[in-house]
């Protein structure tokens, strides 16, 4: 069983401009999405406000911040879209 997992971060919208393009972090297995987001904010404090409002997804599935990540994956961060 894996002790740690690599999570690649992809971002779109406003948050994309605030984070490095090839962001990838290693975490303990079964880490919560909210803890991943907190770590990103600690490394890139300029994205704090955008991070509070972003949606999270893995592949085509939107997930909650309480979701546990148990295997390597790409976590997608989606900024809210305004307009009409």
Classify residue 20: in a domain, yes or no.
yes
Into how many domains does the chain fold? 1
42 contacts: CB under 8 Å, gap ≥ 6? none
Nearest partner of 47 among 15, 83, 13, 8, judged by Cα? 15
C-beta of residue 63 within 8 angstroms of C-beta of residue 27: no
Q: What is the pLDDT of residue 80?
A: 83
Q: What is the pLDDT of residue 42?
A: 98
For residue 19, give its domain range.
4-78
Classify residue 44: in a domain, yes or no.
yes
Q: What is the CATH number of the domain that holds 50?
A: 3.10.20.30
Residues of the chain where predicted confidence (pLDDT) is lower than 50? 84
Classify residue 19: in a domain, yes or no.
yes
Q: What is the pLDDT of residue 2?
A: 67
Classify residue 26: in a domain, yes or no.
yes
Classify residue 83: in a domain, yes or no.
no
Classify residue 65: in a domain, yes or no.
yes
Classify residue 84: in a domain, yes or no.
no
pLDDT in tens, 12-30: 999 999 999 999 999 999 9
Q: What is the pLDDT of residue 82?
A: 58
Q: What is the pLDDT of residue 81?
A: 73
């Amino acid at each position: 069983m894996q002790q740690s997992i690599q999570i690649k971060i992809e971002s779109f919208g406003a948050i994309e401009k605030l984070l490095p393009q090839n962001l990838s972090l290693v975490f303990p297995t079964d880490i919560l999405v909210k803890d991943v987001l907190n770590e990103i904010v600690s490394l890139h404090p300029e994205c704090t406000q955008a991070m509070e409002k972003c949606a999270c997804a893995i592949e085509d599935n939107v997930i909650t911040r309480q979701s546990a990540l148990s295997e390597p994956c790409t976590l997608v961060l989606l900024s809210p879209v305004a307009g009409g």
